[in-house]
Amino acid sequence: MTTEPDQLLPNPDTIRVFQGREEIRKVAFRSCQEIQEQMDGCYDHTHPYVLFADDIGFNWETKHNLPYCKKMIDDGMDVRHLDGVKGNFSIVDRTYCVLYTIQAEGQEPTQLLVTNSKSFVEQQQHFFEILWRTAIPAEKRIKELEREQKIKNEFIEEIADQLKVRKVCDDLVLSTTGELLIVSPSQEIMESIIEVTRKKSGVKVRILEPIDKLEEMKKILKEDLPIEIRYFLNSSSIRPNVTILLSEGTLSLSIEIKENMKGNFYEMIKSATYTNSESIVWTHTSIFETLWMQSKIP
């Protein structure tokens, strides 16, 4: 069976059935290439988007196909999401309809039906318009899914092991490529920060220190680096024996130090909390920014 342009639908009210992977691919691609004004498509999660991945890609089941939905939106397509939608069909310029027969999820279509039957096309177009009015913008659903995934991937880790706290702290500092916010860093942490700012361009560091650490910090920072420091008086928002690191606005490491002890910073660690929890990171960032605005520039 061939799919030459003058033979696809040679007459009005024609119904044709295509079988086989290559024939189905040819007709599917051709239906996209023939669009003059618009194509209306409805697809569920069984739709084999792999058939179209080279060119256009369709799938309304947003949850299963986020990258393709985003690509369609980026390409200027109008995409909506509808829970529980069933069926896979498209209507090209309101003139003919393409329907896929899929036996099982994840499998390619076994048949593809193409028809320009006026009554059938009008019926499918009417059905599509009902679904379209019921559906929500794909952008909204994508944000919901990304939010759900973010919550699912959230972690809050309480760390008591001093060596592990040191490793997490070093990894956090060294992996930062954007902005790093720090409250009351130790000399050991400052050494890592200096190393990062020397090696990576684009890293911005802002540090809040108690006023009594001014002279100590001046001795550590002897060179011109992209590190901005401000000093604050005692604040009820920040406990005096806690160091906080915030990386990229997505990670927070809060380190509690044992009281009345001196020596190596990492040996004085009592415990630490490491998290990507949006609420905790937001709270720590808000405290930092408030203190930053109230603090003094040396």
Token pair, residue 276, equals 């990507």
222/95 same-domain check: no
Tens of pLDDT, residue by residue over 267-288, are 889 999 999 998 999 999 999 9
146/168 same-domain check: no
In 3-state terms the chain splits into helix, strand, coil percentages (rounded to 5) of 40, 25, 35
Tens of pLDDT, residue by residue over 72-99, are 788 888 888 888 877 889 999 999 999 9
99/132 same-domain check: yes
Last residue of a domain, one of 104, 130, 150: 150
Q: Which residue has the tokens 């509690």?
A: 256
Tens of pLDDT, residue by residue over 147-193, are 777 777 889 999 999 999 999 999 999 899 899 999 988 888 888 88
| Range(s) of the domain holding residue 128 | 5-150
104/158 same-domain check: no
61/75 same-domain check: yes
140/9 same-domain check: yes
141/160 same-domain check: no
Does 27 score more than 90 pLDDT? no
Residues with Cβ < 8 Å from 241, sequence gap 6 or more? Answer: 256, 257, 258, 259
Residue pair 180/240 in contact by the 8 Å Cβ criterion = no
Last residue of a domain, one of 116, 150, 184: 150
22/143 same-domain check: yes
Averaged over 239-247, what is the pLDDT? 88
Name the average pLDDT for the chain: 82
Portion of the chain with pLDDT greater than 70, in percent? 86
Last residue of a domain, one of 96, 120, 150: 150
169/66 same-domain check: no
218/283 same-domain check: yes
Least confident interval from 49-58, 128-137, 202-211, 280-289: 49-58
208/141 same-domain check: no
Averaged over 128-145, what is the pLDDT? 88
CATH of the domain at 88: 3.30.870.10
- Between 150 and 58, where is the model more confident? 150
**Maximum distance among all alpha carbons in the chain?**
92
Into how many domains does the chain fold? 2
Alpha helices of the chain — where are they, by DSSP H?
21-33, 66-74, 118-134, 138-152, 162-175, 187-199, 214-220, 278-294
190/54 same-domain check: no
